[in-house]
Amino acid sequence: MSVSPLLHLIQHHPAEGPGEIALWAAARGVALQIYRADLGALPLASADPMILLGGPYAVHQPPPWLQREQAWLDSVLTQDAPVLAICMGAQLLATCLGAAVAPAAEKEGGWTPVQFAGGATMEVLQWHEDNFSLPSGAVLHAGSRACPHQYVTHGEKRIALQFHPEWNAQSVAELNAYFGAESPLPRLSKTNNDGLEPDTRRYRIVQDWLYQRLDNWRAHWT
């Protein structure tokens, strides 16, 4: 019986944790190890699967620790590691693949519709000011009006998502508590027993989509 490799998750900000990814990993029996890159922690570069989360930093004007992470990611990619990257993480991956990252003409925040190549649409949570260009050899699967590159793959093991499918209601509550009025994310209109916004339909649709993507991605490293 084969043993799944450890899944490494790179976090960049105290309020931006793994969210639904941690719940998916627990449900699938996947061992998840979290590293705080902004505090200087990164795993050894290897062929193990890696997930890169977002953060409120500019890849085109990176702080020193993010420059070190980019060099680390370059090494990871040379070892053909599976990489799934979200928001700022997607911009970092795109940069390592030779694409450009620059300020967007229009910011995106809150629930935003993205359109997939087949014509379907899905409302997703976003909060970003920069966009990445399409890396050479990448395939575009979804975009939005303000950001044409929302979901990109580069081969079968590299995925770049500009939106945040990992954010659930708890994630949004934590982000709103940390950033206050700066946050464009949905606020509580009414609460359930947990004090969370009962916007269950949209969260469930995105959760189902995320779990399917993670299951498909996992098939390439187990």
Q: Which residues are catalytic?
A: 87, 164, 166
Q: At what angle do helices 64-78 and 88-96 cross, to 10 degrees?
A: 60
Tell me which DSSP letter residue 85 carries. E
Sign of CA dihedral 95, 182, 108, 102: negative
Tell me which DSSP letter residue 45 carries. P
DSSP letters of 92-134? HHHHHTT--EEEEEEEEEEEEEEEETTS-EEEEEEEEEEEEPP
Q: How many angstroms separate the CA atoms of 158 and 176, rounded? A: 30
Q: How many angstroms separate the CA atoms of 94 and 64, rounded? A: 18
> Is the separation of the CB atoms in 151 and 141 below 8 Å?
yes
Q: How many angstroms separate the CA atoms of 64 and 179, rounded? A: 23
> Is the separation of the CB atoms in 87 and 162 below 8 Å?
yes
